Amino acid sequence: MKLIKPITIAVFFVLFCSEAFCETIAKEEPIICNGDKIEYADGNKSLTGEGNVSLKYGNVKIDADKVEVNLQTKEAFASGNVIMR
């Protein structure tokens, strides 16, 4: 299964790099998510997008078939046709 595109690019560099390497992204930077279906779970502060998902955080953008984001830790898991810009 080709290790799911090296564990989806190491869970997208632990969602858009560690703070030590990405100090240019402000802590209050919004996560912008668009897709065919977007669900927000307030209880566990998570966001799930399915179908043509586009996720933008700072100057980083991910396009994928499915994206799951923990809004507290700012960690994401993207799967299916993942493109990172």
- Number of domains the chain contains: 1
What's the domain range around 45? 4-84
Task: State pLDDT tens for residues 40-84.
Answer: 999 999 999 999 999 999 898 999 999 999 999 889 999 999 999
* Structure tokens belonging to residue 60: 């980083």
Alpha-carbon gap, residue 57 to 66, rounded angstroms: 16
H or E stretch covering 9? helix 4-16
Phi-psi region of 78 (alpha: psi -120 to 50; beta: other; left: phi over 0): beta
- Provide the whole-model pTM: 0.66
Torsion of CA 10, 3, 72, 45, to 10 degrees: 160
